[in-house]
Amino acid sequence: MSLKDQEFLYNIFRREIKDRKIPLSLGKTCPVKCTFCYEMDHSYRKTFETPLTTQEHWEFIFNEIQSIPTRESESWILGGNEYMEWTDLALHPKAMDWIEEFLDKTDKKITVFSVGYFDPARINRLAEKYPGRINFELSVITLGSYREQLMPKGPSVKQVMAVLDGPSVTSANFYSFGPGTMSQDAKNISNINKECLLWMGCLTPLKYIDTDTTKLMRQGKRFLPDEARKIYDMNLPNVQMIHTESDITAFLNRNKIIKTFDACELEKKDWIVMAGNVHRILTLFRPGRARFLYVPNDTLGGDSNCTTLLTFDDVAKRITNQRVIHLPQVIMEKSSNDERDISGRSFDEFKEQFPRVRFKVLYKVNSALSNKKLYEKGYLKNYVEDYLDNPLSKKFESVAHPN
């Protein structure tokens, strides 16, 4: 590698490190080949090809990380790079050694995302040795008959259960794909691990997901109420959260959404941008209080329906003759340094596209608010008691989106 190439690579590392990522690379696309992988099309963000991380690269990365002071609230992420393609980094042959070195020589915390290819004994031993410093989010996805179809090269159920059998996994995520899927998995996982958080819901089909997988995801959504009720009745000791449906999240947080909307003090004629989830809430509870500019999540496509994930391109497609448009800040918070959407497009560039429109930012509608709320009302219990058992939710579901 020439010095110039190396400097380019190290600059990518530096950018990741600035965002508190541990930028390991497998040097190729992810070999696990999950059919639901949201990384299949990452054209929405700019990524750079990086070679398999070598010992020399690691030494550079680790030195940089060590030079950054530890903050109690901070956790370094392994498995969610921003400028490099996502892959399952547990598959890097040195991943385990480097995680151990990280834990051994720093006092920092680490968050690991993986489908579970770690050596079960070793990762659980590390969790025992460094209590409270590993936050391991295990993507179980499903343990039942659909596993083969969805994760043809994923780890075996036996491997996943062995990883779960110990203190390392802090949360296990798995989803509804039909009858006896999510509920059965919840039971089996809780049997072996009563401490880990159970993170459940559905996977949302996006535009590049194949037809069979999309069908399965939609089937899962149809059975989510039944599956959730079964789990509710099981009274499992684990903390149980349900997060992945933006409509449900919006409904459960309707009071906060309405309160925030009221606090923005908009006039009846003001245009305000929102995706389907918030559109339903405001149409139902604040009709006519402003003009709701419904914007479909075209960039992600599929069944996505979430204001947080809107892009400027999505908004651009819906602008007609508006003179002033209010935009929620949440759509331009990809990075903390400048105003960009999830695709990386900047607010300034977007504004230049519409010189005759004045854009006003609703700073009260920000991701600090949406993230906090997501967690507060994200329990399976909330979903069953305040959504499924609430007749208002049926009315909410029937609110149609404009064309």
Please report, as ranges, the residues that interact with ligand SF4 according to CB under 6 A: 30, 32-34, 37, 39, 86-88, 115
In angstroms, give the least distance from the CB of 153 to ligand SF4.
Answer: 8
Q: For residues 115 and 189, which CB has a smaller minimum distance to ligand SF4 in the complex? A: 115
Q: Please count the other Cβ atoms lying within 10 Å of the Cβ belonging to residue 59.
A: 10
In angstroms, give the least distance from the CB of 78 to ligand SF4.
Answer: 13
In angstroms, give the least distance from the CB of 5 to ligand SF4.
Answer: 25
In angstroms, give the least distance from the CB of 26 to ligand SF4.
Answer: 9
CB 122 within 8 A of CB 156: no
Q: For residues 30 and 61, which CB has a smaller minimum distance to ligand SF4 in the complex? A: 30
Q: For residues 43 and 336, which CB has a smaller minimum distance to ligand SF4 in the complex? A: 43
Between CA 9 and CA 31 the distance in angstroms is: 22
Q: For residues 181 and 382, which CB has a smaller minimum distance to ligand SF4 in the complex? A: 181
Q: For residues 34 and 216, which CB has a smaller minimum distance to ligand SF4 in the complex? A: 34
In angstroms, give the least distance from the CB of 354 to ligand SF4.
Answer: 36
Q: For residues 88 and 341, which CB has a smaller minimum distance to ligand SF4 in the complex? A: 88
In angstroms, give the least distance from the CB of 30 to ligand SF4.
Answer: 3
Q: For residues 86 and 232, which CB has a smaller minimum distance to ligand SF4 in the complex? A: 86
Q: For residues 7 and 39, which CB has a smaller minimum distance to ligand SF4 in the complex? A: 39
Q: For residues 163 and 295, which CB has a smaller minimum distance to ligand SF4 in the complex? A: 163
Q: What is the 3-state secondary structure (H, E, C) of the chain?
A: CCHHHHHHHHHHHHHHHHCCECCCCCCCCCCCCCCCCCCCCCCCCCCCCCCCCCHHHHHHHHHHHHCCCCCCCCEEEECCCCCCCCCCHHHCCCHHHHHHHHHHHCCCEEEEEECCCCCHHHHHHHHHHCCCCEEEEEEEECCCCCHHHHCCCCCCHHHHHHHHCCCCEEEEEECCCCCCCHHHHHHHHHHHCCCCEEEECCCCCCCCCCHHHHHHHHHHHHHHHHHHHHHHHHCCCCCEEECCCHHHHHHHCHHHHHHHHHHCCCCCCCEEEECHHHHHHHHHHCCCCCEEEECCCCCCCCCCCCHHHCCHHHHHHHCCCCCEEEEEHHHHECCCCCCECCCCCEHHHHHHHCCCCEEEEECCCCHHHHHHHHHHCCEHHHHHHHHHCCCHHHHHHCCCCCC
In angstroms, give the least distance from the CB of 7 to ligand SF4.
Answer: 28
In angstroms, give the least distance from the CB of 33 to ligand SF4.
Answer: 6
In angstroms, give the least distance from the CB of 160 to ligand SF4.
Answer: 12
